[in-house]
Amino acid sequence: MEKIVVTNNGPLSGNVKVDGAKNAALPIIAASLLGTEPIILENVPKLSDINVILKVLESLGSKVEYLDENVVRIDSSKLTGHVAPMELMNRMRASFLVMGPLLARRGETMTYLPGGCAIGKRPIDLHLKGFKALGAKVIEEVDRIEALAKEGLVGDTIYIDFPSVGATQNIMMAATMAKGETVIENAAKEPEIVDLANFLNKLGANIKGAGTSAIRVKGVTKLGGGQHAIIPDRIEASTYMVAAAITRGDITVENCIPSHVMPIIAKLKEVGCQVYVNEEKDVIRVIGGKKLIGTDIKTLPYPGFPTDAQAQFMALLTTAEGQSMVTETVFENRFMHVDELLKMGAIIATDAREARIAGVPSLKGAQVRATDLRAGAALILAGLVAEGKTYISEVEHIDRGYDDIVGKFKKLGAKIERIQE
């Protein structure tokens, strides 16, 4: 079994460069199924989830090759399949995003129910509602879903009950080749939505309004190829920003778009950190205050506080003076890291979707497990300031969203390593 071992090393300092956003790369790679000419994607992060989605594309007939470490060429001009393999679907939820492109491109798709982190119910009914509104026939079975649109999709106005990122992306991709115009109302506004729309427009799509609550898609007959660079990962950036705060260090985060992490900047200032932003160079410097004060956070869809940064910020709040409260509104089961932080001496009481935190003078190293991707990052952060050693198991979750997290923390001065047991 592989573990990450973290030892308290005092304040961290230095520069760290953020990779491309996993949550932008996954849907853009899925959208490459729409292209009838070669596509070159830059700034693609090297993650296990990326490997999975690329294998899904290969299984469907796409040709995939790395031109450089973070540059991928995808040729989907000759697709041969429409069924996503079960063994790959079970490994990652985002693999469900191939359904919209396949429905648009081939008029049929069959997929198995997706897997991923167990952070709560993430129903796909909003995706299917959108497909049905576009004229697809959806057949649901116990473990798989089939969608058919042999005569092509037809544009419509679709209201999404909750601004789901995945549903917005899947419907937007399906609508790119639908007849007429599609309007997605109450759409998600995340930067990853905008990046996907920009990519699709480069291929020849006609999408307007991405980043607002109403996205308009005028269908085209086909999409071509193009070149696109993935936006920086705002959650990875947030993690290193919180690392500066929790270790009372001084970290400069490079390749980070400041407007994408405004809630993190605001809350770090509230707890007592200094934050310096250089929008021209996409750089943020965070200096952790010697005395940090507790605050409250509430996760919300973008531009609110991101649920993907909740666990990391909770780790920070366990070390801040006074009381704090974390309210999780996006996923109902995203407090699994609480039990692990309790093992390290944190004082946290949960009630449904609320967690009340009383700051402690210090945490203690313990044997903990990464219950999900962001929980794993939170435990690394806690281990950086805990007395003794912290042993984190199930690190495969962490590898799903962070490329070389151990190496990057080492460059900042952390005592951290991977071991085999």
- Gap between the Cα atoms of 4 and 370, Å rounded: 10
Using CA atoms, how far residue 168 sits from 46, 102, 199, 232, in Å, is: 25, 16, 15, 20
Q: Cβ neighbours of residue 228 under 8 Å, at least 6 residues apart?
A: 28, 39, 40, 41, 42, 198, 199, 202
* From 12, 117, 215, 256, the catalytic residue: 117
Count of other CB atoms within 10 angstroms of residue 129 = 17
- pLDDT value of residue 120: 42
Q: Cβ neighbours of residue 267 under 8 Å, at least 6 residues apart?
A: 295, 297, 305, 313
Which helix (H) or strand (E) covers residue 325, if one does? strand 323-327
- What string of pLDDT tens digits covers the 421 residues of the chain? 999 999 998 999 999 999 999 999 999 999 999 999 999 999 999 999 999 999 999 999 999 999 999 999 999 999 999 998 888 877 776 778 999 999 999 999 998 776 544 444 446 889 999 999 999 999 988 778 899 999 999 999 999 999 999 999 999 999 999 999 999 999 999 999 999 999 999 999 999 999 999 999 999 999 999 999 999 999 999 999 999 999 999 999 999 999 999 999 999 999 999 999 999 999 999 999 999 999 999 999 999 999 999 999 999 999 999 999 999 998 877 899 999 999 999 999 999 999 999 999 999 999 999 999 999 999 999 999 999 999 999 999 999 999 999 999 999 999 999 999 8
Q: Is 273 a catalytic residue?
A: no
- Residue matched to tokens 């191939």: 98
Using CA atoms, how far residue 13 sits from 229, 251, 328, 413, in Å, is: 28, 5, 31, 7
Please report the DSSP string for 72-105 in residue order.
Answer: EEEE-TT----B--HHHHTT-GGGGGGHHHHHHH
- Gap between the Cα atoms of 52 and 98, Å rounded: 12
Distance separating the N- and C-terminal Cα atoms of the chain: 5
Asked if residue 101 lies in contact with residue 34, where contact means CB atoms within 8 angstroms, the answer is yes
- pLDDT value of residue 93: 67
Using CA atoms, how far residue 57 sits from 32, 79, 229, 374, in Å, is: 9, 9, 19, 26
Return the closest-CA partner of residue 36 out of 176, 139, 234, 161: 176
| DSSP-H helix ranges across 18-59 | 22-31, 48-59
- pLDDT value of residue 123: 66
